[in-house]
């Protein structure tokens, strides 16, 4: 009865999984597209790029003249100056003035032009940084996606192990009931089935945890159903390609955003250094202004005062000026800024060299890992074929009573290990191949559609 109850529960569990499987399942492309659209960190990175674009536009606008208008109104009490006669008066009065002024820098040591170029390179660096963040996210999702596939593969293998044990247990139980087998053999098989049941439960839990981790990476709400579509692993062909470090690095150094971003930052810091040196040169600017105003003595009816429009016309005045500013001493502010700009430029140059070295090391390890992983996969595939043949032979002997449960369990455990090792090496090679393709293409889209 206990075994019958367990079989019913197990069947219900499988049925539940079949019903759940009927829901929409996510492919790797679905996961990546959803993450790129909804990931908060990517959205924040886009805002940083927009900020860099605004700074670039502002620097370009700095070459244009400024134009400002102003007005003010004052009520005077006591001693004041009549702006019309320039005489001192003690009468209560109302004055209203208007002005328009404009100025433009003729020369400022090319600071503005260098700042424009610096902000342009910073904008390009921001675009590349956005690609870096996107590619990093995609690589993380791909790694977790294949982790889900791996744990689900282990779950499936454990389930098949459990079904095999349950089948043998059922067979031996019937034979014990007919007196063809000893009761001790039934107990041994029950112990084996119990171990397989535990292994299946652990595998099921790990698969669920891996799926939850992927769901959290995608930032999907906990109340939303989520499952992945298991690909046909047998259709994932492991090619015999041998990747060479130098050839991959030659391509990667030209297209990868992680290098381009630092290269643009280096160009930006070089322009910022030139802009900081421009502050030691004289600054020449020109400008002009138009002024007019209105004045009226309050509570004086016996004085003939011109109208508002007449005064605005008569009080109109213009001014043009040329300004030359020669820096002599400014408390080491300019010198400090120049040295800091040079340090940032040199640091960007060193960061670029360091990133190139790191990239070469990563590509070299990736190529070596792929080539070694490919050999491991071929060995695992061959080992599985031998273990299948061995297990089939042991199973037939076990059913004929020629081997005991211990030998049968050992053979089945060896087969299970071979199956999981083949799955591990296959997925490992595929992930390493995707990493090399990312180095070769520089963009995640090539990984999805190839």
**Which CATH number is 126's domain given?**
1.20.1600.10
pLDDT higher than 80, residue 303: no
Write out the two tokens for 244: 């060479």
- The reply to whether 173 and 322 lie within a common domain is no
- The reply to whether 83 and 128 lie within a common domain is no
Q: How far is CA 280 from CA 89, 103, 164, in A?
A: 49, 21, 85
Mean pLDDT, residues 408-424 taken together: 88
**Residue 19 has what pLDDT?**
40
Residue 411 confidence class, pLDDT cut points 50, 70, 90:
confident
Indicate whether 126 belongs to any domain: yes
Q: What is the mean pLDDT of the chain?
A: 86
239 CB neighbour count, 10 Å cutoff:
8
CB 121 within 8 A of CB 268: yes
Most confident of 119-128, 130-139, 399-408, 425-434: 119-128
Domain that residue 306 falls in: 67-106+282-326
- The reply to whether 334 and 424 lie within a common domain is yes
**Residue 122 has what pLDDT?**
96
Whole-number Å distance between alpha carbons of 415 and 391 = 7
- The reply to whether 249 and 311 lie within a common domain is no
**Residue 236 has what pLDDT?**
64
Mean pLDDT, residues 183-187 taken together: 85
pLDDT digits (tens, 9 = 90+) for 265-278: 999 999 999 999 99
Phi, psi of 48 (to 5 degrees): -65, -40
Most confident of 296-300, 302-306, 340-344, 432-436: 340-344
Residue 15 confidence class, pLDDT cut points 50, 70, 90:
very low
Indicate whether 57 belongs to any domain: no
- The reply to whether 152 and 242 lie within a common domain is yes
Residue 16 confidence class, pLDDT cut points 50, 70, 90:
very low
**How many domains does the chain contain in total?**
2
Mean pLDDT, residues 434-450 taken together: 73
Indicate whether 62 belongs to any domain: no
**Residue 174 has what pLDDT?**
87
- The reply to whether 144 and 17 lie within a common domain is yes
Q: How far is CA 182 from CA 4, 32, 169, 193, 400, in A?
A: 21, 57, 13, 17, 14
pLDDT digits (tens, 9 = 90+) for 317-373: 999 999 999 999 888 999 999 999 999 999 999 999 999 999 999 999 999 999 888
**Residue 23 has what pLDDT?**
62
């Amino acid at each position: 009865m206990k075994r019958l109850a367990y079989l019913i529960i197990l069947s219900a569990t499988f049925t539940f999984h079949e019903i759940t499987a009927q829901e929409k399942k996510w492919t790797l492309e679905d996961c990546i597209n959803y993450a790129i659209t909804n990931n908060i960190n990517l959205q924040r990175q886009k805002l940083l790029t927009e900020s860099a674009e605004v700074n670039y536009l502002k620097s370009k606008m700095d070459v244009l003249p400024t134009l400002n208008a102003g007005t003010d109104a004052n009520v005077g009490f006591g001693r004041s100056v009549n702006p019309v006669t320039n005489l001192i008066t003690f009468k209560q009065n109302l004055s209203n003035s208007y002005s328009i002024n404009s100025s433009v820098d003729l020369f400022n040591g090319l600071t503005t032009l260098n700042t424009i170029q610096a902000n342009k390179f910073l904008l390009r660096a921001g675009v590349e940084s956005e690609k870096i963040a996107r590619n990093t996210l995609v690589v993380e999702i791909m790694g977790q996606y294949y982790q889900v596939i791996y744990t689900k593969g282990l779950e499936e293998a454990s389930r098949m192990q459990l079904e095999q044990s349950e089948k043998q247990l059922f067979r031996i139980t019937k034979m014990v009931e007919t007196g063809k087998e000893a009761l001790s053999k039934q107990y041994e098989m029950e112990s084996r089935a119990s171990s397989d049941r535990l292994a299946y439960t652990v595998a099921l839990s790990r698969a669920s945890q891996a799926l939850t981790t992927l769901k959290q990476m995608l930032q999907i709400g906990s109340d939303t159903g989520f499952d992945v579509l298991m690909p046909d692993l047998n259709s994932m062909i492991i090619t015999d390609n041998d990747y060479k470090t130098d050839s991959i690095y030659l391509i990667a150094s030209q297209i990868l955003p992680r290098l381009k971003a630092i290269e643009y930052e280096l160009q930006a810091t070089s322009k910022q250094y030139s802009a900081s040196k421009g502050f030691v040169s004289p600054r020449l600017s020109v400008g002009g202004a138009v002024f007019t105003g209105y004045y009226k003595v309050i509570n004086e009816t016996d004085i003939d005062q011109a109208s508002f429009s007449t005064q605005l016309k008569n009080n109109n005045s213009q001014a043009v000026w040329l300004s030359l500013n020669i820096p002599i001493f400014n408390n080491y502010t300019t010198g400090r800024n120049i040295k800091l700009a040079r340090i940032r430029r040199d640091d960007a140059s060193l960061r670029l060299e360091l990133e190139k070295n790191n990239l070469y090391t990563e590509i070299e390890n990736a190529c070596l890992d792929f080539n070694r992983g490919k050999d491991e996969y071929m060995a695992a595939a061959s080992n599985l074929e031998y273990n299948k043949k061995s297990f089939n032979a042991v199973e037939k002997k076990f059913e004929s009573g020629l081997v005991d449960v211990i030998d049968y369990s050992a053979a089945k455990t060896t087969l299970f290990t071979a199956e999981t090792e083949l799955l591990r090496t296959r997925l490992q090679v595929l992930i390493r191949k995707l990493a090399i393709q990312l180095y070769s293409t520089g963009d995640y889209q090539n990984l999805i559609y190839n």
